[in-house]
Amino acid sequence: MMLRISSYNINGIRAAHRKGVMDWISETDPDIICFQELKANIDQVPDELKALDYHEVYHIAEKKGYSGVAVYSKIQPEITNIGMGVEWIDNEGRVVMAEFDKFRLFSVYVPSGSSSELRQDMKMKFLDDFTRFGKQFIGDDKPTVFCGDFNICHTEIDIHNPAQQQNTSGFLPEEREWFTDFLDLGYNDVFRELHPGEKDLYSWWSYRAASKQRNKGWRIDYHLATPALAEKAKAAVIEKDWDMSDHVPVTIDYDI
């Protein structure tokens, strides 16, 4: 059975609804959507989205209009869970899980560290906790995939003009080292494995200086899967033509 899974930092579900997210869902037709950065309470999600033929699970931030993740699935999950068991992270609504018969899936929104040194320190603390969280699914009988916005470009081909970005949050050496170490636990960067060595493939662009039109972007949105699931990936695309957010969907077809 082919299963299409999309990961999408929507940068405000209400704004994305106004900008055409229903058209994207109709055209792409994902079986599962992992949304990040909802910026809304559940009762603020547009009714048109709630009326879709998807099962929904949300993890909403305590702070109004901030963060938030969700999973929309045509298949009803057997188990759902929110959070990582770390209070400040869970208060920010950053991790939600849906478990199915043959695999489990997470929608993940890693903090940005670009606003201050404090937020960068908190980002690194999140990554440390996320490593511990991710370890528990290695070697598990059930394949696992983390889909989401990790706010890190892993390698130089994942960011435009890497030479000038070495001191920028999202491309710091310690962040990139964390990413390598996380993959070494036993996870695969599924999109990159299907597009090895290909350059200029980005999933986020600043709203400034016509960055998207000039393709001055970053690849910070990922599917990170255990090998048993990663090897089932057959096609992967970054859906650059859509303009509902500063991110675009990363969509992968798996032969489950």
| Start-to-end Cα distance in the chain | 5
What is the pTM (predicted TM-score) of this model?
A: 0.98
The per-residue pLDDT for range 76-87, each reduced to its tens digit, is: 999 999 999 999
Strand order in the sheet with 95-99: 79-82, 95-99, 104-109, 144-149, 221-225, 188-189
- In this structure, how many other beta carbons lie within 10 angstroms of the beta carbon of residue 231? 15
**Residue 52: which CATH number?**
3.60.10.10
Single-letter residue type at 198: E
**Mean pLDDT across the stretch 101-130?**
97
d(CA 135, CA 182): 9
Mean pLDDT of the chain: 97
Tell me how many domains the chain contains.
Answer: 1
Domain range for residue 158? 2-255
The per-residue pLDDT for range 149-194, each reduced to its tens digit, is: 999 999 999 999 999 999 999 999 999 999 999 999 999 999 999 9
The per-residue pLDDT for range 182-236, each reduced to its tens digit, is: 999 999 999 999 999 999 999 999 999 999 999 999 999 999 999 999 999 999 9
Which stretch of 33-37, 46-50, 123-127, 139-143 has the lowest confidence by average pLDDT? 139-143
Catalytic residues: 149
